[in-house]
Amino acid sequence: MDRIIMDRYEQWTKLAVLDADVARELEDMAGDEGRIEDAFYRCLAFGTGGLRGVIGAGTNRMNVYTVAKASQGLSRYVIDHFPEGKRSIAVSYDSRVKSDLFSRVAASVFAHNGIHVYIYPQLMPTPCLSWAVRSLGCSAGIMVTASHNPSQYNGYKVYGSDGCQITTEAASAILRRIEETDEFSVTIPDYDACTAEGQIEYISEDVYTGFIEAVKAQSVLFGDRADRDVDIVYSPLNGTGLKPILRALSESGFTRVTVVREQEAPDGLFPTCPYPNPEIREAMALGIEYCRRTGADLLLATDPDCDRCGIAVKDEQGEYTLLTGNETGLLIFDYICSQRVAHGRMPKDPVLVKTIVTTDLAEKIACSYGVTTVNVLTGFKYIGEKIGQLEAQGHAESYICGFEESYGYLTGSHVRDKDAVNAAFMICEMFAFYKARGISLVQKLGELYSRFGYCLNTLHSYQFEGSQGMAKMASIMNGLRGPIPSIGGLKVEKVTDYLAGADGLPASDVLKFALSGGTTLVARPSGTEPKLKLYLSVSAPDKESAQALEAKLTDDMSARMSR
């Protein structure tokens, strides 16, 4: 094994004494070269998504030392870019294992660097962090979360003073400061002492209330009737969404909400859904069981940091149908547009912002309402960045909606990240609006397909673990950049390679294939997980034809992945 890796391991065995769990794991991996290499072959990657990794011992793991090192780097960045007396960082955390510990460690490091810290007194969603950064005028913010990843993961999202996840430029500058730091040289003072001295301040209830009011202000009913007498089942998937979502709904007249008891309390082990992601059918299974038991009209579920929202609704046979992120986004967007047009509330130059992997059907709907579609790279931070640009240009009111296929939605500019509290509120309002008119969401979706054509959108992920996984993904992407005349029997009409930047977007390791018949395929390595992702948007006369074509495309691409 590489001597440098072994030296790192031996250093950690001597110095990593702050967390007993880390010390025990280091002792347990003694003599296991494979475990040692995987834990120490690199430092946990830091980018625009911050840090994310498996909780454990080592430089390639989430632990108090990697968190302290990142926090020291962020502290130096804030000191570099903000004057003394104007330096502050907001902190929030979710229900994951050690999230509370990591947030206290980070806050203590910030305080030691003379940066005032605002921290929520209890776990709060990602959008509440974005709101706090803007509301309190902070220099930056962090959210300790691994979003929808399995329970063994945790992470550390970094936000700029605009409440948006950091840009590539900021991430690079912070990374330079992190790389200058030795994890065992970082001073981590006592959290309680910092709090007692006023260096760490708890975020007030008024700030939280302001967020709830901002969510409710996104309503587009404009006085129209809505049937709020609906039975709703809600699951926070053992995360942060319970308090804000129940409050926003109850204050808006939705009082018949049943919470999935087994998934109600915060629990980082996620005992009933090992993969706490509302995109995954298994995570929604218990909620659907509750719906069948109670006869509920609607199921809502949010991921642990409450920035993603999934739903299920009754179909014409009385069965519960899970809607995809694309389908829910289309419904929300069409509802907003139709209401704004009906009430003369459409801004002069309305804008929809979506990612390049989000359904192509959105552009057709936008065009029908005279809305301009702006496509951005994958990641809601780019949607947040676009909102900021519109605001800087004096066109903040032009933004009416943004969404991405991975169950992220935002209908206002109150925060600069996807907001599942906002999404849950808008979904319930939309549902109540259509219910008052005898229309189900399944029927409304069918109407959109009838008007604009059927479009099947799917996502396939290919896992590549360990130190060899990154090299394998790079090899596959290089292979896809070679001449490919057809995929799944469809002619490749155009290939857009974003690696050097394209369509005015920043450089990113993404390939988009435009195929004959209006179908598109996007390939990209995940920025937060050891996965290569394929996004298909298949246009066809009907669902059955689209499914058959999608199967051919997937088989072809899967074969390319295994070569």
- Nearest CA to 418 out of 538, 278, 532 is that of 278
Residue of 103, 147, 161, 508 with catalytic role: 147
Contact 38, 60 (CB under 8 A): yes
- Nearest CA to 456 out of 395, 529, 542, 328 is that of 542
Instruction: Give the span between the Cα atoms of 173 and 189, in whole angstroms.
Output: 25
Taking the chain, what is the end-to-end CA distance rounded to the nearest angstrom? 28
- Nearest CA to 21 out of 58, 59, 69 is that of 58
Tokens of 159: 């936000």
Amino acid at site 9: Y
Helix/strand/coil for 316:
coil
Instruction: Give the span between the Cα atoms of 55 and 396, in whole angstroms.
Output: 40
> Which stretches does DSSP call E strand in 339-398?
351-355, 372-376
Instruction: Give the span between the Cα atoms of 237 and 274, in whole angstroms.
Output: 10
Q: What angle do CA 95, 101, 105 make, to 5 degrees?
A: 135
Instruction: Give the span between the Cα atoms of 182 and 501, in whole angstroms.
Output: 34
Hunting for tokens 């280091």 — which residue is that? 26
- Nearest CA to 71 out of 118, 48, 41, 103 is that of 103
Residue 147 is among the residues annotated as catalytic for this protein: yes
Helix/strand/coil for 267:
coil
Which residues, 6 or more positions from 523, have their beta carbon under 8 angstroms from its beta carbon? 477, 480, 510, 511, 513, 532, 533, 534, 535, 557
> Taken in order 265, 209, 336, 429, is the CA torsion positive or negative?
positive
Around Cβ 364, how many Cβ atoms within 10 Å? 16
> Which stretches does DSSP call E strand in 55-94?
88-93
Binning the chain into helix, strand and coil, the percentages to the nearest 5 are 40, 20, 35
Helix/strand/coil for 381:
helix
User: Furthest-apart CA pair in the chain: how many Å?
Assistant: 71
Using only C-alpha atoms, the chain has a radius of gyration, in whole angstroms, of 24
Active-site positions? Answer: 147
